[in-house]
Amino acid sequence: MQHATPSPAERPLRADARRNRRRLLDAAIALILELGGEPSRDAVAERAGVGIGTLYRHFPDRHSLLRAVALDVIDRTVERGEAALAESTSGGEALRRYLHDAVDSGLGVVNVVHALLDRTDWPDRRAAAQHVLDRLIDRARRDGAIDHDVTATDIALAAIRFCRPLAIGLDPAEERAIAHRQLAAYLDGLPVRLG
Amino acid sequence: MQHATPSPAERPLRADARRNRRRLLDAAIALILELGGEPSRDAVAERAGVGIGTLYRHFPDRHSLLRAVALDVIDRTVERGEAALAESTSGGEALRRYLHDAVDSGLGVVNVVHALLDRTDWPDRRAAAQHVLDRLIDRARRDGAIDHDVTATDIALAAIRFCRPLAIGLDPAEERAIAHRQLAAYLDGLPVRLG
DNA sequence: CTGTAAGCGGAGCAATATACTCCGTTTCAT
DNA sequence: ATGAAACGGAGTATATTGCTCCGCTTACAG
C-alpha cells in the first residue's frame, strides 16, 4: 500500500471519451423530455451519434445512464438555485427565478427518472436539492413573499408539474415558452404576491 | 334486400358484454392515468378482471381501445362543459368549474391518447369539445372575467398540463387534490380575476 | 326448463422490441 | 511510432407484446 492505487475512476478520461459521454447525456435528456418516458438504449446512442458499444462502455448497467442524467440535471439546478439565492434582491424574486431556471435546465427529466429509479439512489444530491429549496422558501417567507401555508411540497410539486414535458409533439422552444407562461400565472396566483 | 339487414352494430349487447366493455374502458383509463403512457393490452385485461380474448373481441385492433377511451372521456367532458355553461351564474365561474371538472373526469387520458393517435380520428368529437370551450371562453370574456390576451389555446394547454398525471406514484385521490390546488392558483394568476 | 347463439377465458405462438456482447478498427496521448 | 484506450455496430439472447383459436360458460328467447 505504498502509493495509493489510483482507483480507475480517477484516471482522467481521454478527450473523445469525455465528449461522447457528454453527448450521450445530452441525447438522453433530450429524448426523455421529448417523449416523456424512458427511451431505449439504441435510441439514445443513435441520437448521440455514437455506437451502442460506446453507450455500454460508459453506462454499463440498466440504471447508470438514468442515474447520471439525473445527477447532471440536479447538479445544474442546485447550482442555479445557489446563484439565484446569491444574486437576487428579494426572496420572492429568487424563488421565481429558481423555478423558471428549472424549466430551462431540464429538471423535468428528474421527474421522469425519479419514477423509474429507486429512491435510495443518490441520497446526497437529493439532500442538496432539498437544502437549496428550503433556503429559497425560507427566504421568500421572511421577505413576506409567500404565506406560511405555501409549503416546500407545494413548490416541489409545482416544479414537477411545470417542468414535465407535455409530450404533445411541440418543439422544445415552444414547449418551454408555454411552461414559462403557465408557471408565471401560477406564481401570480399563489397566496401573497412574489416579488 | 327485403327487410333491411340489421347491421351487427345495432343489435344490443348482451348484459355481460356491456358490463365487460365498461370495465375495460375504466381499467384502461385508470392505467393510463397511473403510468402516464399507453398500457399493454394484457395489463388492461388483467386490471379489468377479464380475459385477453374478451378485450380483443371488444376492441379488435391497435387503436380502437384508445379511441373508445378518448371518446368516452371527451363525451363526459363536453357534457360537463354544457352543464357548467347552463348552471353557472357567471362566465368566470363556468370556466373555472369546467377546468376543475376536467381534472376529475380524467381528461388527462385524452392528452396521452392524443399523442398516440392520428389527429384525423374522431374529428366530430374534437369539434364538439372545441365548441364548448369556445363558448366558455366567449362568455367569460363578455363577463369581463378574462382578458382578451387569454386565448382558447391557453386554456386548452392549461387543461393538458393540469389534467396530466404526475406519474410519481401518488394515489389517485392525492393526485387529483394536488391538481385542483395547482389549477386554482393558476387561475387566480390569470390576467383579470375569474369570478 | 331447454336450446342455442353470443360471449368468455386464457394457453400458446408469432412478431417485435430491447438489452447486451464481442472483436476488428480507429483515435488519442506520449 | 506505438501501445493503450476508446470506438462502432453486426449479431445473439431475452423480454415484451400482439393476437388467434377453440373448448367452455352464460344470457336469454321461447
8 Å CB contact of B190 and A185: yes
- Structure confidence at residue B10 (pLDDT): 60
Grid cell in block for residue A46: 443513435
Task: Give me chain A's average pLDDT, please.
Answer: 88
**Degrees (nearest 5) of the Cα angle B103, B109, B112?**
125
- Report, as an integer, the average pLDDT of A126-147: 94
DSSP state letter for B4: P
Mutation target to probe the A interface, by most A beta carbons within 10 A, among B150, B174, B182, B187 is B182
Query: Whole-number Å distance, CA A53 to C1' D20?
Result: 38
Q: What is the mean pLDDT of residues B26-33?
A: 92
C-alpha cell of B105? 373526469
B8 pLDDT more than 50: no
Q: Kindly list the residues of chain A whose beta carbon comes within 8 Å of any beta carbon in chain B.
A: 36-37, 111, 114-115, 154, 157-158, 160-162, 164, 166-169, 178, 181-182, 184-190
The better pLDDT of the pair B111, A56 is held by A56
For chain B, which domains are there?
A: 15-188 (1.10.357.10)
Nucleotide nearest A40, CA–C1', reads C18
Q: What is the predicted pLDDT for the residue at B6?
A: 41
pLDDT band at B96 (very low <50, low <70, confident <90, very high): very high
State percent of chain A over pLDDT 90.
66
Which range among A108-122, B94-108, B117-131 shows the weakest confidence by mean pLDDT? A108-122
Mean pLDDT of the region A7-24: 84
Which DSSP string do the residues of A128-160 spell out, in sequence order?
Answer: HHHHHHHHHHHHHHHTTSS-TTS-HHHHHHHHH
Q: What is the pLDDT of residue A10?
A: 64
CA of B83 to C1' of C24 (A): 70
Residues of B in contact with A184 (CB under 8 A): 189
DSSP state of B166: -
pLDDT band at A129 (very low <50, low <70, confident <90, very high): very high
pLDDT over threshold 90, residue A62: no
For residue B74, give how far its alpha carbon lies from the nearest alpha carbon of chain A (Å).
17
Through-space separation of residue A109 CA and nucleotide D7 C1' in angstroms:
28
Q: How far is the CA of B11 from the C1' of D27 (A)?
A: 15
Q: Mind telling me how many Å the CA of B171 is from chain A's nearest CA?
A: 14
Residue ranges of the alpha helices (H) in chain B? 15-35, 41-48, 52-58, 64-87, 91-104, 108-116, 123-142, 152-163, 172-189
Mark yes or no for CB contact B166/A168 under 8 Å: no
- For chain C, which bases have at least one atom within 7 A of a protein Cβ? 6-12, 17-23, 27-29
Give the residue numbers in B contacting A (CB under 8 Å), as ranges. 36-37, 111-112, 114-115, 154, 157-158, 160-162, 164, 166-169, 178, 181-182, 184-190
pLDDT tens-digit series, residues B35-93: 878 899 999 999 999 999 999 999 998 789 999 999 999 999 999 999 999 999 999 99
* A117: closest chain B residue by CA: B168
Which nucleotide's C1' sits nearest to the alpha carbon of A60? Answer: C20
Which residues are CB-neighbours of A181 under 8 A, at least 6 positions away? B154
Least CB–CB distance from A185: residue in B36, B181, B186 = B186
pLDDT bin (cut points 50, 70, 90) of residue B118 is low
Q: What is the pLDDT of residues A79-120, one digit of tens each?
A: 999 999 999 999 999 999 999 999 998 888 887 787 667 666
Question: How confident is the model at residue B1, as a pLDDT?
Answer: 39
Chain B closest-CA separation from residue A59 CA (Å): 25
Q: Å between B60 CA and D22 C1'?
A: 18
Model confidence at A191, in pLDDT bands (50, 70, 90)? confident
Range of A181-195, B111-125, B128-142 with top mean pLDDT: B128-142
Average pLDDT on B117-122 reads 68
Question: What is the average per-residue pLDDT within A150-172?
Answer: 88
At residue B119, the pLDDT reads 62
Q: By percentage, how much of chain B surpasses pLDDT 90?
A: 65
Nucleotide nearest to A19 (CA to C1'): D6
pLDDT tier at A195, thresholds 50, 70, 90: low
Average pLDDT, integer, range B147-154: 91
Task: Judge whether residue A3 has pLDDT over 70.
Answer: no
User: What average pLDDT does range B112-134 have in this prediction?
Assistant: 81
Amino acid at A62: R
Name which of A147, A162, A182, A190 to mutate to probe chain B: the one with the most chain B Cβ atoms within 10 A of its Cβ.
A182
d(CA A24, CA A17): 11
Mean pLDDT, chain B, rounded, equals 88
